[in-house]
Structure 1
Amino acid sequence: MPTSPSSAAQAARAEVGRRLRELRLDAGLTVVGLAGHCGWHHAKTSRVENARSTPSAADIRLWCRACGAEDQAEDLVAASRNAQSLYTEWRRTMRGGLRRLQESHNDLFASTTTFRIYSSRIVPGLVQTEGYAAALLAGVARFHGAPDDAGPAARARVERSLVIHRPGRRVTLLIEEPVLHYRLGDADAMAAQLGRLLTAGALPAVSLGIIPTGLPARPIRPLEAFHVYDDRLAAVELLTARVTVTQPSEVDLYVRAFAELRALAVYGADARALIVKALDALR
């Protein structure tokens, strides 16, 4: 099963640190000597080399200049930016508002033909109603101290979800049964969302599975929410960040986890019965 979802990001940061360390050693500089050339404390040099701190583009350029390796600076800046993109803190991406964050994923959604989406806490974004999404995103903005543009962000999310109606798309959604009972928004908004699940599950391109709470035993525990886009990328949603997994062996683990979770779910009439039960509980 998946280990730490940030391992690919950490490995990318560690590779940048390793390359910078090699430049320092090739230049015959000590940790203290490099720090002296760059004008910072020697502890910063150690943190960067051991991937405990992320260097800025300016830091990398100073480092390469001190080592007489300015020709390698831009390549290392690009590698560092790529490492940062694998582990994207919400507080940074939300600074421009939640609508912009929704729209930043449009190209990824448009280029994907097979979606595998697992959620243990909320209805997946691809089948959210505007009311449910607005209630969810307003809470996210409040918690993270982001600009509250939940209404426009919700509309952008719903517009993005239209991708599932395009020809050639295949969407498999897996949710844990408690998702149907975690209320976001008022009763009317939640009822509309459950109704949306009923109609979405009937779409030709969509397979909706619900993992019941009453299973006598399960070989795989509930996991953090994750999306697999084709077989090339997995995105894992943590409290503090979105982790992008691109290493093939790690993506394969998420595909394997999805298959095991999928085997636990119910579909068709059994899934609709669980949704209707949740609807009845709202009355």
Structure 2
Amino acid sequence: MPSSPSPSSSVQAARRALADRLRELRLAAELSGTDLAVAAGWHKSKVSRIEKAVQPVTQADIRTWCEACRTEDQIDDLVASLRAAEGGYVEWRRLEPTGLRKLQQSYVPLYERTRWMRVYQPHVIPGLFQTDEYARALLEAITSFRNIPNDVEAAVKARLARRRVLTTGGHTFVFLIEQCVLDYQIGGPSVLAGQLRHLLSDMSLPSVSVGVIPSDAARPMWPVEGFTVYDTTQVHVELLTANVTVTAPSELVTYFRAFDDLSALAVYGPGARELINDSLRRLEAD
């Protein structure tokens, strides 16, 4: 029987991925390891140790590295990756110390790198489909519940800006939504109605496939926590208190299988549209 993977395997994989990204930035900047060390004021061996994931990298190291490579726009994203690498389980309060805007922006490079995104959402309309009003209502609720600084308006703009990946080339998206999500009145009836109409429109995008899992479907696969699969390299799982990043191969396979099993329960095309229109008709009848 094969041995179980180490509990730290996801953490180690995340650290290696971060080290690879730092090396790519250095090479793109056409700097040698010695050049970067001199610019950073470090011992010449530190760059090599970081790139081999032998020496843990700090937030200060990332900032210095990016400044030397003139890629300051990558700092927030790399810091978010570092936080995931530090444990795979990162509390939202650590990711949102100044509000929600920076966290929304930090996902952009990951979204842009991902060629194949798979999203399972049992609670809310997926973020890439959200309207201004729906996103505002949701982010206001999160801000209030977590008692964090209120930068909702800036966070809404940052979240909506991520939508551009839906219409840029080279991306494929598959979304699975539990039918109950279509009836959860985030922001109230009028906001939800506008959101459902917007969802119907976005479903026509050539890069997008949307499946809705009917509430009365026979369930060999039960509803699980919401998660997003980025290509075949990592999964993000959103818990009430934390974001979990999964990179260990054995764990990834489990999420791939869960997505496939949930996909088999969903209806697509006209069937999905009919369920969305049913929810719209109920809203309009009230």
Tell me the TM-score range normalised by the shorter chain: 0.7 to 0.9
Alpha-carbon offset, residue 83 of structure 1: 3.9
Structure-to-structure mapping, 1:76-225, within 5 angstroms: 77-78=56-57, 83-84=85-86, 86-215=88-217, 217-225=218-226
RMSD of aligned residue pairs (Cα, Å): 2.4
Question: In 2 relative to 1, CA 220–112 (structure 1 residues): closer, same or farther, beyond 3 Å?
Answer: same
Superposed structure 1 runs of 4+ greater than 2 Å apart: 7-13, 72-85
| Corresponding residue SS for 1:172 | strand
2-structure distance, mates of 1:145, 1:96: 11
**Equivalent-residue separation in structure 2 for 1:243 and 1:103 (angstroms):** 18
| Identical amino acids, percent of aligned pairs | 44
Q: Secondary structure at the match of 2:128?
A: helix
Q: Deviations over 1:97-145 (max 9, x none)?
A: 1011100111100100101000001011111111101100110011111
* TM norm structure 1: 0.72
Instruction: Specify the alignment match of 1:230 in structure 2.
Output: 231
Partners of 1:165 and 1:94 in 2: CA distance:
28
Per-residue CA deviation, residues 22-79 of structure 1 (Å, 9 max, x unaligned), is: xxxxxxxxxxxxxxxxxxxxxxxxxxxxxxxxxxxxxxxxxxxxxxxxxx99945449
8 Å CA contact retained: 2:83, 2:90: no
Unaligned runs of 5+ in 1: 1-6, 14-71
Cα separation, 1, equivalents of 2:236 and 2:167: 22
* Residues 204 and 177 of structure 1, relative CA distance in 2, 3 Å threshold: same
What secondary structure does 2:176 align onto?
A: strand
Letter in 2 for 1:226: F
Structure 2: give runs of 5+ residues left out of the alignment.
1-5, 13-48, 59-81
Give the whole-Å Cα distance in 1 for the aligned partners of 2:227 and 2:141: 20
SS in 1 for 2:119: strand
Give the equivalent residue in structure 2 for 1:262.
Answer: 263
